[in-house]
Amino acid sequence: MKRSHFLAILLFLSGGIAAQVNVDSLHSVIGSKKPYSEQIRASLKLLENYQIRNFDSTLSEGDKALEIARKNADSVSIAEIKRHIGVASYFKGNYEVAAGNFLESIAILEKANQPAKLAPVYNELAKLYRKTRDLDRALETYNKAEALYKQLKDSAGISMILNESGVVFEYRADYNEAINRYTASLNLAQKRGDSLGVSYSLSNIAGVYVIQKKYDAAEGNLLRALHIRQELRDSFAIALTYSDLGVAMNGKGDYAKAIEYLTLSNQMAEKLKYPELQSNNYNELSTVAQKQGDFQNAFRYFLKRSTLRDSLYALEKTRQIEELNTKYETAQREKEIQQQKNKLRLQNFLLIGIAGLVLLTGLLLLSWYRRKQLRQEAAMKTELMRQQEMAIRAVMEAEENERQRIAKDLHDGVGQMMSAAKMNLSAFESDIPFSNEEQRKSFGKIIALVDESCREVRTVSHIMMPNALLKNNLGDAIREFVGKLNQKDLQVHVYTEGLDQRLDSSLETMLYRVVQECVNNTIKHAGASNLDISLIRDKDGISGTIEDNGKGFDSTNPEIRKGIGIRNISSRIEYLKGTVDFDSAPGRGTVVALHVPVRE
């Protein structure tokens, strides 16, 4: 069945038959001084009315509506208008223009999070992909539309997508899947009492049956659809159904019925002024006549089909003639102007001057608009960076607060309990009757172990909560931290310059944690005997190096660079808007070089 073009129109109307509107009243609202909300509402209603009735009017009114919406910076309405323009361009065969409008509409609606308005645009774009036989992309886009309709719990929308996407599987010759989708759409339409939706699904299923040469089943579905459309008085859909019945009966071999249905379709198509449908019907009638051996009527139908196509061609020729006449009249006017140029020279100069002024004004406005856009983009980027910085600051502060909480819990809780345990053991020592010296020594080792644990808990709590920063500058705090390390096999040297004055508390804490992380990494992984820490402040900021003579690692290995320690160092330096480099290789130690800016 040659129904792809007509099916697109039918499915476009699957939400119901568009109601007639008073076009003059809508125009009066659009051209009035009424509030913008009323004007744009009237513009969108007018576009809905024109959309499949008059494509040229849709395009011209769409341009006017865009101008109104842009003046009011109404991006969502701009997206809706572009959808209407895209649909009109699609039916005019301007697929590239249609695609551009659909894609612009989708970009706006995705950003504005408008799923109810976005889903129909996905459907239109998928229809365009299907028309150009980009079937994979069509199905992918239909799936996006269906997901949105499911999110909105829109049964009518889901039903429409099932019908639309079923055509893709027809094109792929996957008729079982096509019928499954049409049947699912039919069930949904029946559940919600949508008789028009039922008729569309029946027509679609019948189309597959005709391809499969199941003509009786196709006829049954089409007659059911015809009955529904006759009750709805949908002349356009009735004409298409008669045409589909004619095609089915031709395939079945019931030529009398085929002629009857095709003739009825043509009578209605003539009233609707739909020459393309008439042309297709005459082509089918010519085929029927040939099968009957009636070559005279076959030739007559063929001539009528040709005449219709010639009339369409004649319209194009008429347009070309009008263009030639326009060019001729323009040439005559230019000749008259040339003859009177001395008299009109002053006016010409004046017009040129006005045109130049208008052009200059336009360029200035364009330049102002672009500068405004750049300022807005810069403001957005600045705000985004500020928000990211606030988020990072919040994470860092939360981490620091958690460290302090754990440190207090260790010091005030576990530490106190360990100290109490030591005191109780010491007091208990004098009451225990040891049977030999060996038992006394073992008990002494237990007390020593508890004492060592107390010191370890204190050391860990002090490392996690750098109280040294509360009373000392950064350099002294690092020295105090290094001095508390209980590492006999590791010699640590600290050199600082220009850090006598206190810095921002956040900066000092972050740098302290970076140095702390580097030292801990050296102790845990490097197996080094020497560690040099250098921090120098100058006019450009603070530069530092932490260098050890340990076993090193492969600094080019991305898996190693994803480690928690390296990521902690990098994230803190990035928070300070600084840079950090890791230079290491197996067997030659590790150098961590960093630089952070410091505001005076």
Instruction: Assess whether pLDDT exceeds 50 at residue 25.
Output: yes
pLDDT category, 145, cuts 50, 70, 90?
A: very high
With 0.75 as the threshold, say if the pTM is over it: no
Of the candidates 168, 148, 162, the residue with the CA atom closest to the CA atom of residue 106: 148
Instruction: Assess whether pLDDT exceeds 90 at residue 80.
Output: yes
Return the pLDDT at 333. Answer: 63
Contact call for residues 555 and 585 (beta carbons, < 8 A): yes
Least confident of 46-50, 165-169, 401-405, 479-483: 401-405
d(CA 596, CA 389) in angstroms, rounded, equals: 15
Least confident of 36-50, 336-350, 366-380: 336-350
Instruction: Assess whether pLDDT exceeds 80 at residue 3.
Output: no
Of the candidates 78, 65, 20, 18, the residue with the CA atom closest to the CA atom of residue 39: 65
Most confident of 256-265, 289-298, 548-557: 256-265
Query: Rounded mean pLDDT of 27-48?
Result: 87
The mean pLDDT of the chain is 80
d(CA 90, CA 129) in angstroms, rounded, equals: 11
Return the pLDDT at 8. Answer: 43
Of the candidates 241, 195, 201, 162, the residue with the CA atom closest to the CA atom of residue 16: 195
Instruction: Assess whether pLDDT exceeds 60 at residue 59.
Output: yes
Return the pLDDT at 427. Answer: 65
Domains of the chain from N-terminus onward:
1-184 (1.25.40.10), 234-310 (1.25.40.10), 343-465 (no CATH), 466-596 (3.30.565.10)
Which residue shows structure tokens 């640590």? 492
Least confident of 221-235, 424-438, 543-557: 424-438
Instruction: Assess whether pLDDT exceeds 50 at residue 504.
Output: yes
Return the pLDDT at 257. Answer: 92
Return the pLDDT at 141. Answer: 93
Return the pLDDT at 462. Answer: 59
Residue 109 vs residue 2, higher pLDDT: 109
Return the pLDDT at 407. Answer: 58
How many CA atoms lie within 13 Å of 564's alpha carbon, on the beta-carbon side?
2
Return the pLDDT at 53. Answer: 65
Return the pLDDT at 328. Answer: 36
Residue 314 vs residue 304, higher pLDDT: 304
Query: Rounded mean pLDDT of 425-443?
Result: 73
Instruction: Assess whether pLDDT exceeds 90 at residue 453.
Output: no
Contact call for residues 162 and 181 (beta carbons, < 8 A): yes
Instruction: Assess whether pLDDT exceeds 90 at residue 451.
Output: no
Return the pLDDT at 428. Answer: 67
Return the pLDDT at 376. Answer: 87
pLDDT in tens, 298-308: 888 888 888 77
C-beta contacts of 248-254 below 8 A and 24+ residues apart? 248/1, 248/206, 248/209, 248/210, 248/215, 248/218, 248/219, 248/222, 249/215, 249/219, 250/284, 250/287, 250/288, 250/291, 251/210, 251/213, 251/215, 252/215, 252/216, 252/219, 253/291
Return the pLDDT at 298. Answer: 84
Residue 470 vs residue 378, higher pLDDT: 378
Return the pLDDT at 82. Answer: 93
Is the dihedral angle over the CA atoms 109, 110, 114, 120 positive or is it negative? Answer: positive
Query: Rounded mean pLDDT of 66-94?
Result: 89
Query: Rounded mean pLDDT of 199-215?
Result: 89
Residue 316 vs residue 460, higher pLDDT: 460
Query: Rounded mean pLDDT of 236-261?
Result: 90
pLDDT category, 487, cuts 50, 70, 90?
A: low
- Structure-block tokens of residue 438: 């060996």
